[in-house]
């Protein structure tokens, strides 16, 4: 996608201010975040939504199930018939969420993470699940075998974890195991503690 600057004709009138126009495209920076922004990502079936809901309940931060949010707010760019899911319009998503990100306090859950700018995220959590447990979860959802196979390969080759490490400073990438309910509860406590520490540190 070409930049806004590239779209401006060289014949633009002298009164045009590129800097003023650019303000509407960038995340507002006039106020510090009061709470952290966190994205919980991972292969479908690793427990992202369940964990996000638990952490939201403990911390009071706002949970956004990004797939549902995008559909509800018409931020999609079609439908993937192979994977049977909506295709997000990433530009629309970022534009829609920039005010929420500016205030902070968002817990997003989505299978991917790489299209969110690093300055918008304070923590990137990647959930990992053993393949046997993951297969059972996906099968219970009624996924077709092709979709199950795609997701299993994604987990085996740690696609989401590599994506997170390539897109963000490793200092903000947290890998958590999510095989059983007990681990989910422990993960929720871990993230709640992290959030409390972040707020204390940034309120000084």
Measured at the alpha carbon of residue 139, what is the angle toward residues 72 and 56, in degrees to the nearest 5? 45
Q: List the binding residues for ATP.
A: 45, 47-50, 141
Binding residues: 45, 47-50, 141
Name residues whose C-beta falls within 8 Å of residue 34's C-beta, 6 or more positions apart in sequence. Answer: 103, 104, 105, 199
| List of residues 6+ apart from 11 with CB closer than 8 A | none
Instruction: Please give the Cα distance from 111 to 45 (Å, whole number).
Output: 9
Nearest partner of 159 among 127, 188, 121, judged by Cα: 127
């Amino acid at each position: 996608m070409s930049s806004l600057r590239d779209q401006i004709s060289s014949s633009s009138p002298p009164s045009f201010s590129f800097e003023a126009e650019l303000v509407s495209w960038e995340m507002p920076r006039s106020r510090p975040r009061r709470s952290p922004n966190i994205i919980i990502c991972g292969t479908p079936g690793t427990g992202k939504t369940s964990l996000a809901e638990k952490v939201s309940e403990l911390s009071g931060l706002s949970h956004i199930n990004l797939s549902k949010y995008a559909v509800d707010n018409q931020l999609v760019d079609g439908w993937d018939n192979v994977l049977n899911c909506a295709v997000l319009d990433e530009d629309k998503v970022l534009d829609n969420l920039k005010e929420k990100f500016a205030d902070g306090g968002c817990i997003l859950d989505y299978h991917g993470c790489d299209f969110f700018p690093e300055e918008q995220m304070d923590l990137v959590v990647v959930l990992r699940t053993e393949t046997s447990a993951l297969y059972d979860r996906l099968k219970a959802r009624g996924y077709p075998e092709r979709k199950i196979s795609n997701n299993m390969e994604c987990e085996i080759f740690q696609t989401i974890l590599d994506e997170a490490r390539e897109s963000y400073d490793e200092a903000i990438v947290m890998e958590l195991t999510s095989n059983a309910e007990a681990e989910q509860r422990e993960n929720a406590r871990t993230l709640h503690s992290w959030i409390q520490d972040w707020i204390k540190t940034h309120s000084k």
